[in-house]
Amino acid sequence: MSLFIRGGTVVNADMSERADVIIDGDLITAVGLDLDVPAGAEIIDAGGQFVMPGGIDPHTHMQLPFMGTVASEDFFTGTAAGLAGGTTMIIDFVIPSPKQPLMEAFQTWRGWAEKSCADYSFHVAVTWWDETVHADMGRLVRDEGVNSFKHFMAYKNAIMADDEVMYNSFTRALELGAMATVHAENGEMVFQLQKKMLEMGMTGPEAHPLSRPPAAEGEAANRAIRLAEVIGVPLYLVHVSTKDALEEIIRARNNGQRVYGEALAGHLLIDDSVYRHPDFEVAAGHVMSPPFRSKEHQAALWKGLQSGSLQTTATDHCCFCNEQKAAGRDDFTLIPNGTAGIEDRLAVLWTHGVGTGKLTREEFVAVTSTNTAQIFNIYPRKGVIRAGSDADIVIWDPGATKTISAKTHKQNIDFNIFEGMMVTGLASHTICGGVLRYKDGDLRVEKGTGHYVKRPAFPPMFRALEKITTAGKPRPVNR
């Protein structure tokens, strides 16, 4: 099966060019001007459109068991919604319960994800520590293609990793050539503030952001960054939502530390006024952690993205329907945390990024696809339109418009945080693994057509290890 994408402008993170694209099987085989159409190829006319690497969402939670319920979007419906919006790969999270073996949890998530219709990979959370976790991290890196381990610094009494767990896990990640990642919020501070809010009689969603102040994120970001600095492991901060955390990232990067930051489309575009909405469903529908922040923080995040201090964009797609959110009607701490966005990420970032001049088209590709592929070591297989790369492509119609609504979206949730937002610039075609899966509103998906993507370990970073293990004595380096 071959496809011929004719007459579009190919946009990569480094340059744009008028070019045709030939796909044979699941690979891109040629990119160039006025190519010959291979015999039997299906032709897609991309005149006037941009041909870009499919979006990679590095932060999703399909069918996550969380806070007493299970996210409504599963791996099939969620990856299908992603394809409708131009996203061709997700990196989801395996989250073992405390004391659950990592390998057991990994196999469970692998099983759930088999129905995916776009490509997928996994970060694995380290929620507890003993020698079996140490061993399983090794197996995950060596045998299963996992190169990133997640640490939730929040969610006390559930999946929170304390400093001891993080110290052990960061150290092991460095040994294995893996990336440490964190959800940076001081879980103890949040826990105490939640109690205080309830004691004061503040039981509604308006208390959610008050219980998770920017300082809680700034403190945790600094703690994780400092720990990573001492250990010498690269660190990726998911869903950076505050100026406080961003400033810690900038400081560390200016100091030569390998630290990366991710911004969510929601945090860039929605502010904390939503929590004061009089309708519980609307306010609770926006409950996620860290919460949406004031406009000052939003402006800082945009600048972080523009300046390269934040490198990736994601959604933290974690869907709970109104009925599920109602569990916290009388106690905001029981509202399942999570919001959707996989279908809308590219369109809202194009509209508010490229459409306003904050991002060039090439920067858009960088922050929606290429940087994630590079940071998580799957480039140039993913994240670029180039001969030899996977044929994961979005054809982007810059003139197409729509108004986002839960009534019309394909996501399996009855709420949309971008409800009523008019976007200009939409996927007209999405190709995943060389197959046209979405065309002008028509999804052509089948369960199980997505593939698990292994992500190789990074070369060991011995230099940093030397610093703390040999107190200055040179140590043989085996590269």
Which residue's CB atom is positioned nearest to Zn ion? Answer: 183
Closest of 207, 185, 189, 225 to residue 280, by C-alpha: 207
User: What is the C-alpha to C-alpha distance for residues 361 and 383, in angstroms, rounded to an integer?
Assistant: 14
Using an 8 Å Cβ cutoff, are 211 and 337 in contact? no
Q: How far is the CB of 58 from ligand URP (least distance, A)?
A: 12
Q: How far is the CB of 316 from Zn ion (least distance, A)?
A: 4
172 binding partner (options Zn ion, ligand URP, none; Cβ < 5 to 8 Å by kind): none
Q: How far is the CB of 226 from ligand URP (least distance, A)?
A: 21
The answer to whether residue 316 forms part of the interface with Zn ion (CB under 5 A) is: yes
Which stretches of 333-421 are assigned E, i.e. beta strand?
393-403
The answer to whether residue 293 forms part of the interface with ligand URP (CB under 6 A) is: no
Using an 8 Å Cβ cutoff, are 271 and 298 in contact? yes
The only residue of 73, 219, 316, 343 in contact with ligand URP, by rule CB under 6 A: 316
Q: Which parts of 177-272 fold into alpha helices (H)?
A: 187-199, 207-210, 214-231, 243-254, 265-269
Segment interacting with Zn ion, rule: CB under 5 A, options 111-119, 164-172, 310-318, 471-479 = 310-318
Q: Between 11 and 318, whose beta carbon lies closer to ligand URP? A: 318
Tell me the two tokens of residue 78. 């969620």
Q: Between 338 and 341, whose beta carbon lies closer to ligand URP? A: 338
List, as one string, the DSSP characters of 419-463.
TT-EEEEEEEEEEETTEEEEETTEE---TT---B---PPPPP-HH
The only residue of 6, 61, 208, 361 in contact with ligand URP, by rule CB under 6 A: 61
User: What is the C-alpha to C-alpha distance for residues 257 and 45, in angstroms, rounded to an integer?
Assistant: 45
Using an 8 Å Cβ cutoff, are 297 and 315 in contact? no
- Using only the alpha carbons of the chain, give its radius of gyration: 22
The only residue of 183, 325, 345, 409 in contact with Zn ion, by rule CB under 5 A: 183
What is the footprint of ligand URP within residues 177-216 (CB under 6 A)?
Answer: 183
The answer to whether residue 262 forms part of the interface with Zn ion (CB under 5 A) is: no
Q: How far is the CB of 299 from ligand URP (least distance, A)?
A: 22
Q: How far is the CB of 216 from Zn ion (least distance, A)?
A: 13
Which residue's CB atom is positioned nearest to ligand URP? Answer: 337
The answer to whether residue 337 forms part of the interface with ligand URP (CB under 6 A) is: yes
Q: How far is the CB of 61 from ligand URP (least distance, A)?
A: 5
- For Zn ion (CB under 5 A), the number of binding residues is 2
Q: Between 20 and 217, whose beta carbon lies closer to ligand URP? A: 217
Tell me the two tokens of residue 406. 């839960």
103 phi and psi angles, rounded to 5 deg: -65, -35
Torsion sign across C-alpha atoms 266, 214, 165, 460? positive
User: What is the C-alpha to C-alpha distance for residues 221 and 247, in angstroms, rounded to an integer?
Assistant: 9
337 binding partner (options Zn ion, ligand URP, none; Cβ < 5 to 8 Å by kind): ligand URP
140, containing H or E segment: helix 131-144
The residue ranges that bind ligand URP (CB under 6 A) are 61, 183, 288-289, 316, 318, 337-338
The residue ranges that bind Zn ion (CB under 5 A) are 183, 316
